[in-house]
Amino acid sequence: MSIRAVLFDLYGTLIHIETDETQGEIYWALSRYLSYHRIHTRPDSLRERYFDLAKQQKRNSAETYPEMDARAVWREILRSGSKHFRPESVASEGDHRVQEIEKRRERLAKELVRLHRALSRRMIERYPGAKELLQAIIGEFQLGIVSDAQVEFAKPEMRITKIRKYFPVKTISSAYGYRKPDPRLFKETCHALQVHPAEAIYVGNDMYRDVFGAREAGLKTILVWSDQGRKDYRDVRADYDARDLYEVLEGIRFLAERH
C-alpha cells in the first residue's frame, strides 16, 4: 500500500512546551478567581483536591491506559464548592433551572481548564522546522494529530503556534478517556482520514507512547530525537530515526518510496 497520510504527535514533536502544575502560585491565583464565583478555598487545599480527583479518575477507569478529564475534575470542584453549581439543588424549580446551572458550570469548568494551563505554562513555541515541514507535505499527504492532551487547551495551543490550519483531523486523548499507546487512537485518526493504518506514517518523540503505540495499530513510524520523550522501550525500533524535524521530511520520503 502506498503512503497517503502522515500523523503527528503534538507536544515534544511539533510544539515545544514547558509546564509545571505543582507551583503554589497557580493555586493561589485560581483560589482567588474562584472566590468571584462564590467558592472559597485555600490554595493548598485546592491543589490537593485537584490532584486527588485526577488520580481518582484514573483509578476508577476500566481502560488500560486511562486519560484524565480535566474538565470533569473542575466540574466536581465547582459542584462540591458551592450550591450555585449543583443542579440537584434546584431540581424543585424545574428543568429549565437545572439546565441553566449545568450550562453555567460547564462553561466555567472549561475556562478553568484553560486558566490552569495558562498559569502553569512557562513557554510554548514551535520546534524549528515544524512550519516548513508541514508546508512541504500538506499538498501531498493527508495530515492528522494524535495527542495525549486535553481538548480544551490542545486546540487553542495549536492556534497559538499557528499549526492548527494544517490538520483537519485532531484526535485528542481526553475526548476518549484513554491515551497513547492505546492503538485505538491511531486507528480512529486513520478512519477519520479514510486511510488504512498501513497507508499512514506516525511521527512522534516517544518510543513507548508514540512508536510502540503506532506500530501496534499498524502504522509506519518516525522517531524524532527531540529534548522530550522516552527514546527506548524493550526491543521496539522506529522505521526511521530523525534528529530533528528537518530530517523528518527525508524520513517521510524514504518510507513513502518503499511502499
- 204-246 tens-digit pLDDT: 999 999 999 999 999 999 999 988 877 888 998 999 999 999 9
- For the chain, give the longest Cα–Cα distance: 67
Please tell me the predicted confidence (pLDDT) of residue 98.
Answer: 58
Please tell me the predicted confidence (pLDDT) of residue 81.
Answer: 74
Beta strands at 142-147 and 121-126: parallel, antiparallel or unpaired? unpaired
Please tell me the predicted confidence (pLDDT) of residue 171.
Answer: 98
d(CA 143, CA 153): 20
Which contacts qualify for 73-77: CB closer than 8 Å, 24 or more apart? Answer: 74/108, 74/109, 74/112, 74/113, 74/116, 75/105, 75/106, 75/109, 77/39, 77/46, 77/49, 77/50, 77/53, 77/112
Please tell me the predicted confidence (pLDDT) of residue 218.
Answer: 98
Residues 6+ apart with CB under 8 A from 231: 206, 207, 223, 225
Please tell me the predicted confidence (pLDDT) of residue 96.
Answer: 61
What is the number of H-type helices and E-type strands within the chain? 9, 8
d(CA 130, CA 161): 10
d(CA 229, CA 177): 21
Q: Which residues of the chain have pLDDT under 50?
A: 90, 92
Please tell me the predicted confidence (pLDDT) of residue 94.
Answer: 56
| SS3 of residue 66 by DSSP | strand
CATH number, domain 5-18+124-258, options 3.60.20.30, 3.40.50.300, 3.40.50.880, 3.40.50.1000: 3.40.50.1000
Please tell me the predicted confidence (pLDDT) of residue 88.
Answer: 57
Task: Reduce the secondary structure of 151-187 to three states and give it as a string.
Answer: HHHHHHHHHHCCCHHHCCEEEEHHHCCECCCCHHHHH
Q: What is the amino acid identity at position 126? A: R
| SS3 of residue 249 by DSSP | helix
Please tell me the predicted confidence (pLDDT) of residue 205.
Answer: 97
